[in-house]
Amino acid sequence: MGGHLVTVATCNLNQWVLDWEGNLNRIVESIHIAKAAGARLRVGPDESTHGILLDIGMPILHRNLRYNCRVICLDGKILLIVSLTTLAAMGIRLMVTM
């Protein structure tokens, strides 16, 4: 069975509280770098702009319960929200390090 190779860009940005302009500049720069490297998926801890698939980790509150989730976005639209518990039940394990 054939497969397709996909370039994935990961980033860990040096973001600062209330540094809106600086944070935005670092996000945009990381997207330009990812696109220049041919990435179709950019994975990072932040939300960003258009033209690249984003995988964002964030807490989601649903019916007064908080879930640790992955949110998949493209061109400013949310495509998928899935809890890490659901992913684990499907046999998908994500390792998060701090």
pLDDT tens sequence across 33-76: 988 998 877 776 655 555 677 777 778 888 888 888 888 887 77
Look at residue 98 in the predicted model and tell me its pLDDT. Answer: 40
**Partners of 9 in the beta sheet?**
42
Cα 47 to its chain centre, rounded Å, is 7
Residue 68, pLDDT score: 86
pTM over 0.75: no
Spatial distance between the Cα atoms of 6 and 17, rounded to a whole number of angstroms: 33
User: How far, CA to CA in Å, does 49 sit from each of 1, 25, 41, 44, 72?
Assistant: 34, 11, 13, 12, 13
Q: Where are the domains of the chain?
A: 8-89
d(CA 26, CA 89): 35
- pLDDT-based confidence at residue 97 (cuts at 50, 70, 90): very low
